[in-house]
């Protein structure tokens, strides 16, 4: 890793998985987060909201951050079933994922909705992990770069900086499918994101914003993906539910 690159972040998105007994997985991650690994990479675990307070309590002193998977744009109100950024922060979260493709696809979230949630995250003192990525149809039509550029410009708030923003590129067609783009494809999109960040957070800070790759990241492909220019870590789905796999992905930074 170049000294000019941001400190890597490997984040686990547990999605709708995990019961109270799943705290053991976090304990195993904590036990395997050795001093050598801590020196190289930051870890973030985003469990379902029901486990957030418990995970935040367990992770105290371990340097493992805990985050939410989504938040409402408003601080409070008549929004049955929703959770505010302030509630996440109160439970111990320091990050929140916004704009994940599953929220965009299954809940109809638009770029403006994602931006409003990122604004809420910043209001609550959280770092927003803003997700972008194209569908298979968009990639096959040659629209990947335009789609990602539009999502970035519509989803990232004007007050964003390297302290309150992480960008995650997740090609929708790669999530949970076992398929991954080539290293060259990832480099192209991450290069575009880095250039767009000059416009969105400023030339002085754009190089410090962490850009994660997500989409079927696993121990077998982590080293290759993490070595790509402008890839500053990973947003991991299913593999983050297995402590050994999650740690092995983070361990790509030890080689």
Active-site residue list: 100, 170
Q: What is the DSSP string of 169-200?
A: E--GGGTTTS----HHHHHHHHHHHHHHHHHH
14 φ, ψ to 5°? -75, -10
172 φ, ψ to 5°? -55, -35
7: helix, coil or strand? coil
Q: What angle do CA 174, 181, 184 make, to 5 degrees?
A: 155
| 223-226 contacts at long range (C-beta below 8 A, 24 or more positions apart) | 223/252, 223/255, 224/183, 225/180, 225/183, 225/186, 225/252, 226/8, 226/252, 226/253
Measured distance CA(231)–CA(101) in Å, rounded = 19
End-to-end CA distance of the chain: 10
Composition of the chain by helix, strand, coil, percent to 5:
45, 15, 35
Measured distance CA(152)–CA(167) in Å, rounded = 9
**What does the chain come to in residues?**
255
């Amino acid at each position: 890793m170049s000294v000019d690159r941001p400190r890597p972040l490997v984040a686990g998105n547990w999605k709708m998985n995990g019961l109270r007994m799943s705290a053991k997985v976090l304990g195993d991650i904590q036990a395997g987060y050795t001093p050598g690994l801590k020196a190289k990479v930051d870890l973030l675990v985003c469990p379902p909201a029901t486990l957030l307070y418990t995970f935040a309590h367990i992770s105290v002193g371990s340097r493992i951050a805990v985050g939410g998977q989504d938040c409402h744009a408003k601080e409070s109100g008549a929004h049955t079933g929703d959770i505010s950024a302030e509630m996440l922060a109160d439970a111990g979260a320091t990050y929140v994922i916004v704009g994940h493709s599953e929220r965009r696809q299954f809940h109809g979230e638009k770029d403006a909705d994602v931006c409003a949630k990122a604004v809420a995250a910043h209001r609550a003192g959280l770092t927003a992990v803003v997700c972008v990525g194209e569908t298979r149809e968009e990639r096959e039509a040659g629209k990947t770069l335009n789609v990602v550029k539009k999502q970035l410009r519509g989803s990232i708030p004007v007050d964003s900086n390297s302290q309150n923003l992480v960008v995650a590129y997740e090609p929708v067609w790669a999530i949970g499918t076992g398929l991954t783009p080539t290293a060259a494809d990832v480099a192209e999109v991450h290069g575009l994101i880095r250039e767009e960040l000059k416009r969105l957070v400023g030339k002085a800070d754009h190089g410090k914003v962490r850009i994660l790759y997500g989409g079927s990241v696993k121990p077998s492909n982590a080293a290759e993906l993490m070595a790509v220019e402008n890839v500053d870590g990973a947003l991991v789905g299913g593999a983050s539910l297995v402590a050994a796999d999650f740690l092995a992905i983070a361990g790509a930074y030890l080689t």
